[in-house]
Structure 1
């Protein structure tokens, strides 16, 4: 993939250089023709408006307009090339590990009470969200986070999402174009509020008769003034001043209300062209997967087309944007009651399209979310589509690795958790916790309809519950140990009430003495076993491994290390059976705590 992104960057850089050269040539040409135009105009006036000079001036002016229009288009293409270069560089940063510097970590989605979000690095700093997120709209960002944190899809929905994600992952050009266009929109709440404003059908003025009168006043005034100009031209000025004065009074009386109504869509002119461009790309694209075709059909409904709606909205946006020029804004309100006309146009648009608009914005958000998951095979060197097994609680995988670890150093393991509980022992830093996170984060991906970081994976959709990064709460007066008790109590309750539960518990009851830890850990494992939950528990207490002898569902696995030239070497490979090595004393010797 690195070569692909590098080649795309080089192609765009080459294109950008050519565009820059042409842009400069057009700029100089505009100066030349502008000078020729003014010379021709000067000659036409000084030589008695000779026909030849006037024709030359007209030709030069037309060429000048053409050059101006061509240069504007060239500027758009240059911005596109710059955008593509930036997007592909971010893809390279994901591969090189520099993605941890990306600013959007999904901070507002961090919830310490979530069943697994913080423990599995789903959101937050150095998280799956930070790695894969390419959304730029509010709905896209919310949907991506929701799909990671609350994946609640049926087996058929997961299959449809898998097909869509695979299709998108193979089309880098299209996904980059969507990211480029949505990058002009912004994912803050202003975008969400804009959608709310466009779908809010509350009437500005409930009195329809009064609305008709205000709409008609400017045009009746103009018609009346035209008649007066023909019949009594000497009265025209007085009549015009009178009419316009009345309209200015009407405008001033309603300015607070019209501004309040239009204020919700003031940023519309800056966003509408971006929405139009990205919707058009989605409609023009030939999809093959069922999910993407459904999203496309939502936009191109024959009766209510998103493109027709956005073009109409673009006209309204241009009308609203006039307010940026104070003089023109005042004149248009004096002549046409401009603010009122904009309000009525917007109301008419809502009447025609408001019922469908939110679905269009959600469709774009859905595409963005799917594209995020499509980034995984561009980051991980080995991915596959997981297979769903609904008949029993199972997670089986070959060469499963952690997607947040770079390809060069990622170590993979085979997994065969089939209605069992694994007790995983091993020394410090041997890979126990990372292994638990590998299982959990890949199951999150699988249940979201994504590919996974494994050569092969079979899974049953399950509720995931973890206990890893336990923190105390000074405000609530809760110690680390009590916080862990609450967390594990939640796991037991979930296992008791749910049929499909996967638990991942790291270093169970580390916050208490060894006697109480052993007693409590045994009780927890036996209760989870009684409720038929499946999962994994890591521990340094090898006494817990004795539980394997008492039930067929509990199996021992371990990680180990070796020593060479006063260095500890970890292979991070899962092995059957309990751990036979320890390294705490050696590590203390190594850093000089003990001798």
Structure 2
């Protein structure tokens, strides 16, 4: 059995057993809390009837303390249960990845779909049944953004960068429990992937601390302390102290008139800050061996100052702000030591020191999240191989399969070199041509981001991937599917002419025109791409195009076939050398009810 599958199943059983134990404890604690309330009511009635007020008060205080302790312990157990439930969900998602049954995962990354991107839509990078849906375990906006940039190849990596990423992915793949902790902490505390630009805007803006903030609080604290002493000594009446508190409250409100929007800002992002602090703490406490991860973690320190310590300070200030708007004891602090002024001043000092670093810290945190998502593949598919990256224009695969098909994937071996620049793939409908094109494209992408490829071995050069597979009408722009295809081909040709090392995947090109134009256009396009040093795969139903192999030494024909059992069409999805010699269109038409005997 797959090692990862065993791990996930064992963890699920373990966490379910822990939840059963916790359910027992939680139910007993709930009953105990009710009993304490009942005892408090009975004792209150008993001592009240006997006019024993002291015993009534003492018993209520004692029971209240016991109730608070039990309630605190009760909440701890409830939170433990929630944590185990998240762990179970994470491990279930791992099983669904391995089996290729991840279509129900809620986060599909549909907002990242871009038809104009060179390959995103054609290779199913985002959306339903996509690579993103399969691997994503990010829970913060920054993690999602970093994963988006990685999966879209925002910049073409160098060989050295890919090799460093491979080491990082291998290491994170082995740290499965740490990666799951990263996901759990962000899931439990994070309030969503909402926009936090306003928080970052606050961090970047600068406000000088007013001199009044440095002098007035201490002056009024001294006056307040002296007033309390004088009232205790009966030098001043208590009404003077009350007046002093009222003045303090007024001073606080005047000096902190800007605090209300700040309270609202941090109240909105309190859970975010707590989640970010927890994630950065996990990263800071973990030891990494790979160069890439070490360097990434090192960026979280500034002059040996840990960002975790600074984030904890921000969290404390945010917690105080939350108390300021809801707790009675905080009001007492406010009118005696003018606490709001100190909080506002401390926030300004924190912002002055760390404000311009916050975005950098969160981006690095997001990169760890994104890398952890990609590392799911490393752990889940132990038989997959890491690509050998070479300086040659080559794609060579042994037993390569579609990464998202799980146990259903059919593997094939395939080679494309600088001598054989184009693979022309023919075959009947539904035989596997388009899936094979996506298989090659997806495994190239996985290799470039440092992930393992779905293959026994995979060797490739570094290319810019361009596809033209799915084109559709755009009624708003008055663009037909054929013209949309032309526009994508134009982008591909321009990239090749500019000197990019292009790897192209073309599926049934120029299908929106007549057979003669389609044949001639495909022939000219393939020649033009090869002349501009591009490599790639072309699938087609145009069998005449296969004749190019006779005159073009750089083109090789491949095909997929179908077979029949008891008049039922079957496919083995195995790639064969040579052009297709089978057709199934008429058979499929007959299945649709078209009767050829009428003619």
The Cα of 1:370 is off from its aligned counterpart by 0.8
CA contact (8 A) 1:137 1:191 kept: no
User: Could you give the per-residue CA deviations for residues 536-592 of structure 1, whole angstroms, max 9, x where no partner exists?
Assistant: 111111111111222221111111111221111211111111111111112112221
Cα pair distance change 1:571/1:359, threshold 3 Å: same
Q: Measured at CA, do residues 39 and 154 of structure 1 come closer, stay the same or move farther in structure 2, by a change above 3 Å?
A: same
Alpha-carbon distance change, 431 to 251 in structure 1, aligned in 2, over 3 angstroms: same
Q: 1:476 to 1:358 in 2, by over 3 A?
A: closer
Task: Quote the offset at 1:18 in angstroms.
Answer: 1.4
Deviations along 1:101-133, one digit per CA (max 9) or x if unpaired, are 222111221111000000000112221111111
More moved, 392-401 vs 184-193: 184-193
2:375 corresponds to: 374
Offset at residue 361 of structure 1 (A) = 1.6
Cα deviation 1:293-319 (Å, max 9, x = unaligned): 333334466731123212212220111
Distance, in Å, in 2 between the alignment partners of 1:489 and 1:274 is: 46
2:415 aligns with: 416
Contact 1:507 1:540 in 2 (8 A): yes
CA displacement 1:435-454 (0-9 Å, x = unmatched): 11111111111111111111
Distance 1:328 1:194 in 2: 28
Q: Report the counterpart of residue 237 of structure 1 in structure 2.
A: 239
Residue 458 of structure 2 is matched in structure 1 by 457
In 2: Cα distance, 1:78 partner to 1:402 partner? 37
Distance 1:217 1:75, change over 3 A: farther
Tell whether 2:114 aligns with 1:111: yes
- Conserved 8 A contact 2:221-2:338: no
Q: Is the 8 A contact 2:378 2:451 kept in 1?
A: no
Q: What pairs up with 1:541-552 in 2 under 5 angstroms?
A: 541-552=542-553
User: Helix, strand or coil for the counterpart of 2:556?
Assistant: strand
Alignment of 1:219-298 (within 5 A): 219-226=221-228, 228-229=230-231, 233-238=235-240, 240-241=242-243, 243-253=244-254, 257-298=258-299
Counterpart residue number, 1:194: 199
SS in 1 for 2:133: helix
Please name the residue that 2:404 is paired with.
Answer: 404
Tell me: CA distance 1:369–1:196, structure 2 relative to 1, closer, same or farther (3 Å). Answer: farther
8 Å CA contact 1:37–1:57 kept in 2: the answer is yes
In terms of mean alpha carbon deviation, does 260-269 or 167-176 score higher?
260-269
Distance in 1 (CA, whole Å) between partners of 2:272 and 2:131 is: 29
Residue pair 1:181, 1:275 contacting (<8 A) in 2 also: no
Distance between the aligned counterparts of 1:554 and 1:186, measured in 2? 54
Alignment-derived partner of residue 210 in structure 1: 212
SS in 2 for 1:424: strand
CA contact (8 A) 2:463 2:502 kept: yes
Q: Is the 8 A contact 2:558 2:578 kept in 1?
A: yes
Q: Does 1:471 align with 2:472?
A: yes
Q: Give SS of 2:114's match.
A: coil
Q: Counterpart of 1:313?
A: 314
CA–CA separation in structure 2 for the residues paired with 1:192 and 1:383: 39
Distance 1:17 1:298 in 2: 42
* Cα deviation digits, residues 230-276 of structure 1 (max 9, x gap): 576434423542x4444444455566532234433223432333333
* Counterpart contact for 2:204–2:356, Cα < 8 Å: no
Aligned to 2:486: 485
| Alpha carbons 2:173, 2:376 under 8 Å: kept | yes
The aligned counterpart of 2:588 is: 587
Residues 153-192 of structure 1 aligned to structure 2 (within 5 Å): 153-183=157-187, 184-192=189-197
What's the secondary structure of 2:267's corresponding residue?
Answer: coil
TM-score (norm 1): 0.90
- Retained in 1: the 8 A contact 2:206–2:351? no
Residues 380-422 of structure 1 show CA distances to partners (whole Å, capped at 9, x for unaligned) of 47411111102x1111111111112131x21111121112111
The C-alpha deviation readout for 1:199-254, integer Å capped at 9, x for no partner, is: 32411xx363233245445424423423542576434423542x444444445556
- The TM-score normalised by the length of structure 2 is 0.89
1:77 aligns with 2:76: no
Distance 2:433 2:212 in 1: 73
539-548 or 373-382, which moves further after superposition? 373-382
Q: Is the 8 A contact 2:425 2:558 kept in 1?
A: yes
Q: 1:230 and 1:65, CA in 2 relative to 1: closer, same or farther beyond 3 A?
A: closer
Contact kept, 8 Å, 1:304 with 1:353, in 2: the verdict is no
For the residue of structure 1 that corresponds to 2:508, the secondary structure is: coil
1:62 to 1:482, Cα distance in 2 relative to 1, 3 A = closer
User: Following the alignment from structure 1 to structure 2, what is the Cα–Cα distance between the partners of residues 20 and 298?
Assistant: 43
1:507–1:538 Cα contact (<8 Å) kept:
yes
Q: Is the 8 A contact 2:493 2:529 kept in 1?
A: yes
Aligned to 2:517: 516
CA distance in 2, matches of 1:303, 1:257: 33
Match in the other structure for 1:20: 23
> Aligned partners of 1:434, 1:170: CA distance in 2, in Å?
30
